[in-house]
Structure 1
Amino acid sequence: MTTAPETVDILAVARDQVLERGVGLGEEQILEVLRLDDDHLTDLLALAHEVRMRWCGPEVEVEGIISLKTGGCPEDCHFCSQSGRFPTPVRSAWLDIPGLVKAARQTAETGATEFCIVAAVRGPDKRLLSQVREGIKAIREDGNDIQIACSLGMLTQEQVDELVEMGVHRYNHNLETARSHFANVVTTHTWEERWETLRMIREAGMEVCCGGIIGMGESIEQRAEFAAQLAELNPDECTMNFLIPQPGTPYEGYEVVEGKDALRTVAAFRLAMPRPLLRFSGGRELTFGDLGTKQGMLGGINAIIVGNYLTNLGRPATADLAMLDELKMPVKAISDVL
């Protein structure tokens, strides 16, 4: 990767615009950051960390996730092993309420402040919403005051209102990739349908969690486009996933994103969005390893999923908490988010 001399000035521009004034970079500026060569990566990560500290502070939000309904999804998201359209090893299954309560309790015991209930569906039906309602009720009856988030696919206004009434704190619905690339990743629904769900969530007063997956064949220009589109959405939280090529999916032969490119992308997203939570999510273990994960935490990240993901193993929560302790990054207390 080569860099024209004039593009190095983007770091000076970002220092004034983002660090000092809190104004995120625009699409063309983000592209300049993504084109920086490896010689400038250390300076880029350091600046992204300064931005995170200035506009977000030192605390890290820790979250656990659990799959209430796994597999058998009718959508054809090409990265997903839970799609019923692909010959993957994942089979449809439901988690019972006691299992959900146990998972929430174990998540809270790690010090996490957020517990996300996830389902592999196009959108929730009455059975699923009933399970979510009963699950939240049981978690509260267990004496657990952890914040509840959900990720249940595309919603109607009635379903949005129902989730608000249940006390759901935050809703995750990823745009996944740039609008111009989306049709190459998913054909059974549109980018605009996802955006409409996010609009309703925001207007209903729930926090918006939205991000995507890096490494799905998008160009560097489309990565910049995606970051700018997320910045326009202005989510409360942005999840950063890196493709894990899943057996049986159309992307099973894709290469894992190279660590330095991934770090450059993390920093670019922070410079595009100085204030939201920027969360390490799926694929970080494969893409970064231990050292790279630390670099990411010092390069703009201020939230992390601990434990396992939906169909992939993660690192033990104790390992991530020890890393945060080593980096002297305090875990956000539950009292700070209630």
Structure 2
Amino acid sequence: MTVAPGKTDIGDVLAVAREQVLERGVGLSEEQVLAVLRLPDERLTDALQLAHEVRVRWCGPEVEVEGIVSLKTGGCPEDCHFCSQSGRFPSPVRSAWLDVPGLVKAARQTRETGATEFCIVAAVRGPDQRLLSQVREGVRAIRADGNDIQIACSLGMLTQEQVDELVEMGVHRYNHNLETARSHFPDVVTTHSWEERWDTLRMVAAAGMEVCCGGIIGMGETVEQRAEFAVQLAQLSPHEVPMNFLIPQPGTPYEHYEIVEGKDALRTVAAFRLAMPRTMLRFAGGRELTLGDLGAEQGMLGGVNAIIVGNYLTNLGRPASADLKMLDELKMPVKALSDSL
């Protein structure tokens, strides 16, 4: 067989992945990820099984459970086309702040589920001093409440001084999603660049905080751009990659987009796991809509090893008890806080 210049003969990509990813822990290349994304439906079970083996081999059997809360909702100046919190779109979400007692209560309820991670999120381009002061006061109050849960933040793009301030507060993980492939980003957001997000992530990593970076599947990207995105994420070596599936939001430019088909979503989960064998892959927003209960179980057996429980920022999720019951039935141990430190 003659291989074109610059191309690799990947043959049966799952056979290649078994040796390359499962045995050696080396993530798939962009071309190889694309081949997984193009697998026919009859190979999907094989892909998910291999992704699960990779997850167990390189990440272990535990599942990390996380809860999130919105500290500042709505009124964001950016034009992320998927987001109902943008102040530029006629969505029903309005600007609101959560007070510190509300933050403490949410953190306590999250810890009571057995979760080890609590992420404080704000709909902003980047934090001003008022927001950082609120976060600082909230972190202090959560600790004063006797809550030992790990605290993460998602506050938009940062300066170096703000990164340093969050480290000093004790924030151990920072979420800032690239959202989609670099080539597709200008079609999704116009008020800031992919590179600006990348710069924040690099500063976070250099400061010693864990990097949480993922995106949303189903925003009009091509299958080639999904493969591009997976490899770009892998280049960051993130601790965690949240996998969201588009929930078309009323009033946004994407309100009439179709929901990602379940098999495509699962194929994407498997492909991302094979691109990032050592990364925590977290089920996040849209999984209930795209996959349903059965699909969620397939995803947990197809490479996913972390999950957000309860509600999302502006959308309802499954009850935490339902997800914890699912993990118990799948005999997947919930990661203990002592294992997360």
Shorter-chain TM range is over 0.9
Q: Which amino acid aligns with 1:319?
A: A
Q: May I ask how many residue pairs the two structures share in their alignment?
A: 333
Q: Do 1:175 and 1:194's aligned partners in 2 also have CA atoms closer than 8 Å?
A: yes
Answering whether residue 265 of structure 2 is matched by residue 266 of structure 1, we say no
Match of 2:150 among 115, 133, 147: 147
Answering whether residue 192 of structure 2 is matched by residue 186 of structure 1, we say no
**Runs of 5+ unmatched residues, structure 1:** 1-5
Q: Which amino acid aligns with 2:142?
A: I
Answering whether residue 127 of structure 2 is matched by residue 124 of structure 1, we say yes
Match of 2:73 among 70, 73, 94: 70
**Runs of 5+ unmatched residues, structure 2:** 1-8
Match of 2:48 among 19, 22, 45: 45
Q: Do 1:8 and 1:36's aligned partners in 2 also have CA atoms closer than 8 Å?
A: no
Q: Do 1:64 and 1:114's aligned partners in 2 also have CA atoms closer than 8 Å?
A: yes
Name the CA distance, whole Å, in 2 between partners of 1:92 and 1:328. 41
Question: How far does the alpha carbon of each residue in 1:267-323 deviate from its partner, in whole angstroms, 9 at most, with x for none?
Answer: 000000000100000000000000000000000000000000000000000000000
Answering whether residue 262 of structure 2 is matched by residue 224 of structure 1, we say no
> Percent same amino acid at aligned positions?
85
Name the CA distance, whole Å, in 2 between partners of 1:327 and 1:45. 15
Name the CA distance, whole Å, in 1 between partners of 2:53 and 2:340. 23
Q: Do 1:70 and 1:91's aligned partners in 2 also have CA atoms closer than 8 Å?
A: yes
Name the CA distance, whole Å, in 1 between partners of 2:14 and 2:213. 26
The CA RMSD over aligned residues, in Å, is: 0.7
Question: How far does the alpha carbon of each residue in 1:91-111 deviate from its partner, in whole angstroms, 9 at most, with x for none?
Answer: 000000000000000000000
- Secondary structure (helix, strand or coil) at the match of 2:216 reads strand
Counterpart position of 2:240: 237
User: What is the TM-score normalised by the length of structure 2?
Assistant: 0.97
Counterpart position of 1:247: 250
- Secondary structure (helix, strand or coil) at the match of 2:234 reads helix
Counterpart position of 2:290: 287
Q: Which amino acid aligns with 2:296?
A: T
Counterpart position of 2:5: none
- Secondary structure (helix, strand or coil) at the match of 1:66 reads strand
Match of 2:279 among 276, 279, 282: 276
Question: How far does the alpha carbon of each residue in 1:93-150 deviate from its partner, in whole angstroms, 9 at most, with x for none?
Answer: 0000000000000000000000000000000000000000000000000000100000
Counterpart position of 2:301: 298
Question: How far does the alpha carbon of each residue in 1:193-231 deviate from its partner, in whole angstroms, 9 at most, with x for none?
Answer: 000000000000000000000000000000000000001
Name the CA distance, whole Å, in 2 between partners of 1:199 and 1:268. 24
Counterpart position of 2:3: none
- Secondary structure (helix, strand or coil) at the match of 1:241 reads strand
Answering whether residue 18 of structure 2 is matched by residue 19 of structure 1, we say no
Show the 5 A alignment for 1:74-85: 74-85=77-88
Counterpart position of 1:169: 172
Q: Do 1:7 and 1:36's aligned partners in 2 also have CA atoms closer than 8 Å?
A: no
1:8 is displaced (CA, Å) by 6.3
- Secondary structure (helix, strand or coil) at the match of 2:124 reads coil
Counterpart position of 1:3: none
1:337 is displaced (CA, Å) by 1.2
User: What is the TM-score normalised by the length of structure 1?
Assistant: 0.98
Counterpart position of 1:10: 13
Answering whether residue 162 of structure 2 is matched by residue 159 of structure 1, we say yes
- Runs of 4+ residues deviating >4 angstroms: none
Name the CA distance, whole Å, in 2 between partners of 1:82 and 1:208. 23
